[in-house]
Amino acid sequence: MKNKFSASSNGKNIAIDATNVSISTTLIHRATAGVSGFDEVWLYAINNSASDVALTLLWGGLTSDDYIKETVGSLCGLFLVIPGFVINNAKEIRAFAGTTGVLNVNGFVNRIGA
């Protein structure tokens, strides 16, 4: 079943305001609980800045082993960051950006077998 990100209000964009993992991160989605089902994640980034901005996703954890890094080009809309990766067991997808107030993310999850 197709769903919005758990941190999205009514399917709206999620602003990435955090700029450092040691201070805080922005929650994007909390995966389905348990290990019998999983969420297939499709995530897009939008950059409203005239400069390229680094986006770091934390995929299920908070250490550098969990990082997925992308540079989102200036004035880029709907840049595909996650092309259907899966996650489960209530793990969280969080993010921070190189600049505050210019990146947003949106997308959806396909909840499978939960």
Amino acid at 30: R
Q: Mean of the pLDDT values across residues 61-75?
A: 95
What are residue 64's phi and psi, to 5 degrees?
A: -60, -25
What are residue 53's phi and psi, to 5 degrees?
A: -135, 135
pLDDT of residue 24: 85
Q: Locate the domains of the chain by residue range.
A: 2-6+16-106
Q: What are the tokens at 31?
A: 């995966």
Q: How confident is the model at residue 22 (pLDDT cuts 50, 70, 90)?
A: confident
Is pLDDT of 114 > 70?
no
Q: Which of 85, 7, 4, 81 is nearest to 43 (CA)?
A: 81
Is pLDDT of 78 > 90?
yes
What is the pTM (predicted TM-score) of this model?
Answer: 0.94
pLDDT of residue 23: 76
Q: Mean of the pLDDT values across residues 24-53?
A: 96
Q: How confident is the model at residue 79 (pLDDT cuts 50, 70, 90)?
A: very high
